Amino acid sequence: MDTLSQQLHGLKTADAHAITLLEGLFAPVSFKRNWVLSQTTGMGAANLYYITDGLLRGIVPGARVDHCLWMADGGFIVPGNGFLTGARTDEVVEVLADTEGFALNLLRADTLARNHIHLYRMLLEIYEAALLEGRRREVMLRMKTAQERYGFFCRHYPNLQRRATDEQQAQYLHIERKYFYSIKRKV
């Protein structure tokens, strides 16, 4: 809970009363490797997660191959389940390593936040940070060469590079495995 508390206190919109409310809403969670969190399983629906240790990735299943949307080994995991918009998504969260953290039920938070504007502002800041991180990944994926993408990945995501398998990294970077190994040797 200490790392979650530090993250909440570090928000620019942090308010002491709202932090206390949020800390009371986050519940400890543990996920085992190979678990799946999605709307279809009922796990993960309408939850915001804070991961203290573990490895997760969001994917959209495709006809022949799954498309990796993101990968994280810590921090806030913002749901892609259309909680606010009501839009359904096919995003599935895969647990790649045993994971520990906290879950915030967004339905409960929404009810409580109606009377506490600072709580809404803190949640909005968390969502905005996730949006900006998604944009940084988008920039990475638009780099012309796979070698540039891998170099960017190594510089900006060193923990993921150490924790994720070569196959997971290749999928995250949208590089075919057979090319990934030669690129990895060059960097």
Q: Where are the domains of the chain?
A: 2-142, 143-187
Which two structure tokens, joined as six digits, stand for 177? 């495995």
2-142 homologous superfamily: Jelly Rolls (2.60.120.10)
User: What is the reported pLDDT for 64?
Assistant: 87
In this model, does residue 177 exceed pLDDT 70?
A: yes
pLDDT of residue 40: 58
Give the span between the Cα atoms of 147 and 185, in whole angstroms.
10
Q: Which of 93, 107, 114 is nearest to 37 (CA)?
A: 93
Residue of 40, 70, 73, 75 lying closest to 58 (CA atoms) = 70
Tens of pLDDT, residue by residue over 83-142, are 667 777 788 899 999 999 999 999 899 899 899 999 999 999 999 999 999 999 999 999
How crowded is residue 166: how many other Cβ atoms within 10 Å of its Cβ? 11
Digit-coded pLDDT (tens) for 13-55: 999 999 999 999 999 999 999 999 875 555 556 889 999 999 9
pLDDT of residue 52: 97
What is the Cα–Cα distance from 166 to 62, expressed in whole angstroms? 21
Structure tokens at 39: 């709307």
- Write down how long the chain is: 187
What pLDDT digit, counting tens, does each position of 75-96 carry? 999 877 666 677 777 888 999 9
Q: Is 28 left (phi over 0), alpha (psi -120 to 50) or beta?
A: beta
Give, rounded to a whole angstrom, the gap between the first and last alpha carbons of the chain: 38
Tell me, what DSSP letter sits at residue 163? H
Instruction: Give the residue among 96, 14, 24, 10 at the shortest CA–CA distance from 55.
Output: 96
Q: Who has greater pLDDT, 40 or 3?
A: 3
pLDDT(152) > 90: yes
Q: Which residue(s) pair with 105 in the sheet?
A: 47
